Amino acid sequence: MKNTMPETGGFFSRDRNQHPPALTPGYKTTVLRSPQRALIALDGTRSEITGPVFGHGLLNEFDNDLIVNYAKPGESAIGQRILVHGRVLDERGRGVDGALVEFWQANAGGRYRHKKETYLAALDPNFGGVGRTITDEDGRYQFKTVKPGAYPWPNGVNDWRPAHIHFSVFGHGFAQRLITQMYFEGDPMIWLCPIVKTIPDEAAIRQLIAPLDMNQAIPMDMRAYKFDIVLRGRRSTLFANRMEGN
């Protein structure tokens, strides 16, 4: 437990030039989603700046292990076993403790466990594709999973999503959750994705690509990828649900 008071001052401004235009016809759903009026920026209230706070009482034993958290006893998910780790940081590069990090993904074949899923790849009976964890006092998090597969989606005639993991972050200073995606270093499909192509700043795209981190790999078990999430400010990670800044 910390005795330090929460910071209640103003936040650093965010560089919105990193964000894709609201209307990007190459990503078809933006035609209907894009706002028709100018965006409005509102100052954060004291309650938004100082909360919410989550505790480990929210977690189950294997919430941060997608390899086994949906599997039958003695079994595990199919696919390349990986460890994903990183830090949740504020605009000054300081770790944010007590942030609830949720993650969800397709299985190793590129299929989600969703009743409206139409991709023909097989479901893995031992993989649910969802989990969560809470950052420690230095803002660190980690979870085990299998590397997701790419999958087609009905945007263009032959558009595919590169392998990716979705992240949702709740923590200090939020009026709502922030959502982003993590891609994998060396995947050529990143640069073909219509969603990625909407981002005008290559540096912002590269912030979404997790490098291979063999220093954290578990020998004879799993490779590791490192993905830091910056919540606010000029170096902020690109969040899909807060294009106007956060």
Catalytic residues: 112, 151, 161, 164, 166
Task: Give the total residue count for the chain.
Answer: 246
Give the helix/strand (H/E) hosting 160. strand 160-161
- CB count in 10 Å sphere of residue 117: 13
Could you give the CA distance from residue 48 to residue 34 in angstroms, rounded to a whole number? 26
- Report how far residue 169's alpha carbon sits from residue 11's, in angstroms, rounded to the nearest whole number: 18
Single-letter amino acid code for the residue at 71: A
HSE-up (13 A, CA, CB side) for residue 186: 4
Which value, to the nearest 10 degrees, does the dihedral of the CA atoms of residues 202, 207, 209, 212 take? 130
Query: CA 100, 79, 139 angle in degrees (round to 5)?
Result: 20
Cα separation, 106 vs 165, in Å, equals: 8
| Tokens describing residue 53 | 């706070």
- Residues of the chain by 3-state class (helix, strand, coil), percent to 5: 15, 25, 65
Which residues fall within 8 angstroms of residue 183, CB to CB, at 6 or more apart?
A: 162, 163, 164, 190, 196, 208, 209, 210
